C-alpha cells in the first residue's frame, strides 16, 4: 500500500536519537543545578486562556499581536498555545495560593515546549523548547544577580563557550514614561530614516524600536537617548547593586543600554546571554525582573525575576563531545525460531546487569546478524543457533576483538560484565 506522506508542520521538528539523549542530559543538568538554588519544578498546561497572555505579556507586543496560536475550542472558549512560561507559572501560583500554602522560597522552574507563529529560520521556530526559572517574592537586587549567575553557571556547565551576559535596566513605571516620551520625540524627528516596522511601533511601543535589527535603522538607534538619564533614584540604586553583586559573584557582563525585551512585563533589570556559535542576534537566554506582574494577574503584590533558555539554540552551540550517550552494548542473534525464547531470556539477564541489550528477533543468517550488530556498534553479539540450543550455551562474539567463544550462559554473562565494566570510563 503506497500512501501519502506527511511532514512535521513548518517551524516544528522531530527530535530524534541521539539528540533526544543529548537533550535529556542537558535537562537533567538543569534540574540538578536549579535544585541547588532552591528552584522546584512546575508543569503547567500547554494551552491557557488567551487572555492570560494578552494581560501578562502585553497587548502591543509582537508575541500577542502576531505570534500567538489562538483558537476557540469546541466549547467556545478562547485559548492560546503558550508562547512562554512566565505567565503560566504565575497563573498557577495565584490559582493555588502558593503564597499562603507553600513554604518559601517561591522558586520554580519549568521545561517544555512553547509556541510562536514566527517566520521560521535558524534559531527561530514555531514550536521551541524552554527551560525557565521564576523567583517570586524576592525584591533584593542580589537576587537578580543570583538568577543571572545561575543562568551563566548553567550555560557554562553544560559546555557553552564564550557566554556573554548583556545587562540593562529599563526603569520602572515611575521613570520609564519620561524616557518613552523622550524616545518618541526622537523617533519622530527621524521617522523618515526608520523602517516601516519601526515607524509602526514608535508611538505605541517606543522602547521596542531600540531592538530593531534593520541595517538602515542602526545609525538612528545609535543616536537615541539612553535610559540612564531618566532612571529614578530607586532604579539607579537597584541597578548599581545588581552590578556590584554580579562582580562579587565573578559573573562578567557588559552593559547594553539598548537592550530591551519583547515582553511588556519587565521592569528594571533586563538581561540576555549569547554564546559562541549563534548569530549575534540570537540570545540563548533572556530574562529580567517583573515586579507588578503577579498583582496584574490577580495575585499578591509580590516581585519576581526569572529567565528562560531556548533549548534549540543552546543545543546548537554545545560541542558534540559534551553529550554522547552510551548505546546498545549487546545484541542477541537467534538464528532459528526455536532460539527466540532463549534470546528473550538471555537479553533480560544481560539488562539486569545494567547493560543495554536487544535481541534481533527476526531470524536471519549469522552474516546478516553480525552486519546489524556491527551497524549498531555493539561490543558483543550473542549467536544462538541449533548447536547452541542443544548444548545450552551461547556463542559470544567480541565485535571489537573479533574473537568468538562458546560459553555457558553464566560464563558469558561474566565475560560481558567484566569486559564492559573495564571499558566503562570512570568519570
Ligand atoms: P524570551 O526572550 O521571549 O523570554 O525567550 C527566551 C528564550 O527562548 C530566547 O532567548 C530564545 O533562546 C528562546 N526562544 C524564544 N523564541 C524562540 C523561537 N521562536 N525559536 C527558538 N527559540 C526561541 C521569555 O520567554 C520569558 N518568559 C523569559 C523569562 C522568564 N523572563 C522572566 N522569566
Percent above pLDDT 90 for the chain: 90
Interval between CA 124 and ligand 1 midpoint (Å): 10
Residue 325 has pLDDT above 80, yes or no: no
Pairing of strands 285-289, 267-274: antiparallel
* Ligand 1 atom 10 nearest Cα: 285
* Ligand 1 atom 20 nearest Cα: 124
pLDDT band at 140 (very low <50, low <70, confident <90, very high): very high
pLDDT of residue 319: 85
The answer, yes or no, to whether any atom of ligand 1 lies below 6 A from the CB of 313, is: yes
Rg of the chain in Å (alpha carbons): 28
Q: Which distant-in-sequence residues (6+ apart) come within 8 Å of 179 by Cβ?
A: 171, 207, 225, 227, 230
- 186-190, 200-204, 226-230, 346-350: least confidently modelled range: 200-204
* Ligand 1 atom 17 nearest Cα: 124
Q: Which distant-in-sequence residues (6+ apart) come within 8 Å of 228 by Cβ?
A: 257
Q: What is the SS3 assignment for 161?
A: coil
The answer, yes or no, to whether any atom of ligand 1 lies below 6 A from the CB of 85, is: yes
* Ligand 1 atom 22 nearest Cα: 310
Taking the C-alpha atoms of residue 128 and residue 149, their distance in angstroms, rounded to an integer, is 24
Best mutation site among 39, 121, 128 for ligand 1 pocket (most ligand atoms within 8 Å of CB): 128
What are the grid coordinates assigned to 203, written together?
508611538
398-419: b (≥16 Cβ within 10 Å) or e: ebeeeeeeebebeebbebbeeb
Predicted TM-score of the model (pTM): 0.93
Q: Which distant-in-sequence residues (6+ apart) come within 8 Å of 354 by Cβ?
A: none
The answer, yes or no, to whether any atom of ligand 1 lies below 6 A from the CB of 130, is: yes
pLDDT of residue 324: 59
Taking the C-alpha atoms of residue 353 and residue 347, their distance in angstroms, rounded to an integer, is 10
The answer, yes or no, to whether any atom of ligand 1 lies below 6 A from the CB of 125, is: yes
- By the 8 A CB rule, do 85 and 308 touch? yes
Number of H helices, E strands in the chain: 17, 16
Interval between CA 157 and ligand 1 midpoint (Å): 20
Residue 195 has pLDDT above 50, yes or no: yes
Residue (of 242, 287, 322) closest to 131 by Cα position = 287
Interval between CA 218 and ligand 1 midpoint (Å): 23
Best mutation site among 114, 120, 130 for ligand 1 pocket (most ligand atoms within 8 Å of CB): 130
Cα–Cα distance list, 325 to 22, 30, 187, 349, 399 (Å)? 7, 17, 53, 22, 19
Taking the C-alpha atoms of residue 141 and residue 172, their distance in angstroms, rounded to an integer, is 14
The answer, yes or no, to whether any atom of ligand 1 lies below 6 A from the CB of 268, is: no
* Ligand 1 atom 11 nearest Cα: 310
* Ligand 1 atom 1 nearest Cα: 286
Interval between CA 116 and ligand 1 midpoint (Å): 10
Angle at the Cα of 347 from the Cα atoms of 346 and 350, rounded to 5 degrees: 90
Taking the C-alpha atoms of residue 87 and residue 98, their distance in angstroms, rounded to an integer, is 15
Instruction: Please give the DSSP secondary-structure letter assigned to residue 302.
Output: -
The answer, yes or no, to whether any atom of ligand 1 lies below 6 A from the CB of 342, is: no
Taking the C-alpha atoms of residue 140 and residue 13, their distance in angstroms, rounded to an integer, is 40
The answer, yes or no, to whether any atom of ligand 1 lies below 6 A from the CB of 166, is: no
pLDDT band at 423 (very low <50, low <70, confident <90, very high): low
The answer, yes or no, to whether any atom of ligand 1 lies below 6 A from the CB of 118, is: yes
Interval between CA 226 and ligand 1 midpoint (Å): 24
Instruction: State the residue for C-alpha cell 543571572.
Output: 148
What are the grid coordinates assigned to 226, written together?
539612553
* Ligand 1 atom 4 nearest Cα: 286
The answer, yes or no, to whether any atom of ligand 1 lies below 6 A from the CB of 307, is: yes
DSSP H or E segment with residue 160: none
**Ligand 1 atom nearest 125 alpha carbon:** 20
DSSP string, 149-202: HHHHHHHHHTT--S-EEEEEE---TTTHHHHHHHHHHHHHHTGGGS-HHHHHHT
**What does the pLDDT look like over 92-106, one tens digit per residue?**
999 999 999 999 999
**Ligand 1 atom nearest 132 alpha carbon:** 30
Residue 120's Cβ-count burial label (10 Å; 0-12, 13-18, 19+) is middle
* Mean pLDDT value across the chain: 95
pLDDT of residue 427: 45
**What does the pLDDT look like over 3-51, one tens digit per residue?**
999 999 999 999 999 999 999 999 999 999 999 999 999 999 999 999 9
Residue 71, beta-bridge partner list: 79
Interval between CA 46 and ligand 1 midpoint (Å): 16
Amino acid at each position: 500500500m503506497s500512501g501519502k506522506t506527511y511532514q512535521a508542520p513548518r517551524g516544528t521538528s522531530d527530535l530524534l536519537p541521539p539528540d533526544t539523549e543529548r537533550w535529556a542530559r542537558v535537562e537533567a543538568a538543569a534540574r540538578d543545578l536549579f535544585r541547588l538554588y532552591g528552584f522546584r519544578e512546575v508543569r503547567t498546561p500547554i494551552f491557557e486562556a488567551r487572555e492570560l497572555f494578552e494581560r501578562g505579556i502585553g497587548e502591543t507586543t509582537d508575541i500577542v499581536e502576531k505570534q500567538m496560536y489562538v483558537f476557540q475550542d469546541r466549547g467556545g472558549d478562547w485559548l492560546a498555545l503558550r508562547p512562554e512560561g512566565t505567565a503560566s507559572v504565575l497563573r498557577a501560583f495565584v490559582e493555588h495560593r502558593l503564597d499562603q500554602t507553600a513554604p518559601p522560597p517561591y522558586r520554580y522552574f519549568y521545561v517544555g515546549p512553547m509556541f510562536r507563529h514566527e517566520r521560521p529560520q535558524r534559531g527561530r521556530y514555531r514550536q521551541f523548547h524552554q527551560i525557565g526559572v521564576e523567583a517570586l517574592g524576592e525584591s533584593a537586587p542580589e537576587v537578580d544577580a543570583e538568577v543571572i549567575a545561575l543562568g551563566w553557571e548553567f550555560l557554562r556547565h553544560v559546555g557553552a563557550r564564550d557566554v556573554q551576559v548583556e545587562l540593562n535596566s529599563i526603569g520602572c513605571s515611575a521613570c520609564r514614561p519620561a524616557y518613552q516620551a523622550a524616545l518618541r520625540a526622537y523617533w519622530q524627528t527621524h521617522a523618515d530614516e526608520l523602517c516601516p516596522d519601526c515607524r509602526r511601533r514608535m508611538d505605541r511601543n517606543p522602547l521596542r524600536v531600540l531592538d530593531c535589527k534593520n541595517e538602515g535603522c542602526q545609525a538612528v538607534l545609535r543616536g537615541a537617548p539612553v535610559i540612564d538619564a531618566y532612571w529614578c533614584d530607586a532604579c539607579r540604586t537597584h541597578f548599581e547593586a545588581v552590578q556590584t553583586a554580579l562582580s562579587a559573584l565573578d559573573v562578567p557582563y557588559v552593559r547594553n543600554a539598548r537592550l530591551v525585551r519583547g515582553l511588556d512585563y519587565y521592569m528594571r533589570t533586563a538581561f540576555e546571554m549569547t554564546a559562541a556559535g549563534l548569530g549575534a542576534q540570537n540570545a540563548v537566554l533572556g530574562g529580567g525582573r517583573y515586579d507588578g506582574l503577579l498583582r496584574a494577574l490577580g495575585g499578591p503584590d509580590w516581585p519576581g525575576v526569572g529567565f528562560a533558555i531556548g533549548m534549540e539554540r543552546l543545543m546548537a552551540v554545545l560541542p558534540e563531545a559534551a553529550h554522547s550517550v552510551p548505546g546498545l552494548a549487546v545484541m542477541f542473534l537467534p538464528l532459528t525460531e526455536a532460539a527466540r525464547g532463549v534470546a528473550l531470556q538471555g537479553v533480560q539477564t544481560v539488562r539486569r546487569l545494567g547493560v543495554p541489550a536487544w535481541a534481533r528477533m527476526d531470524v536471519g543468517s549469522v552474516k546478516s546478524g553480525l552486519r546489524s550488530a556491527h551497524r549498531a556498534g555493539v561490543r558483543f553479539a550473542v549467536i544462538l543457533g541449533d548447536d547452541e540450543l542443544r548444548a545450552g550455551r551461547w556463542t559470544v562474539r567480541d565485535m571489537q576483538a573479533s574473537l568468538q567463544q562458546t560459553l555457558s550462559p553464566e560464563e558469558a554473562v561474566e565475560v560481558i560484565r567484566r569486559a564492559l565494566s573495564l571499558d566503562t570510563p570512570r568519570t
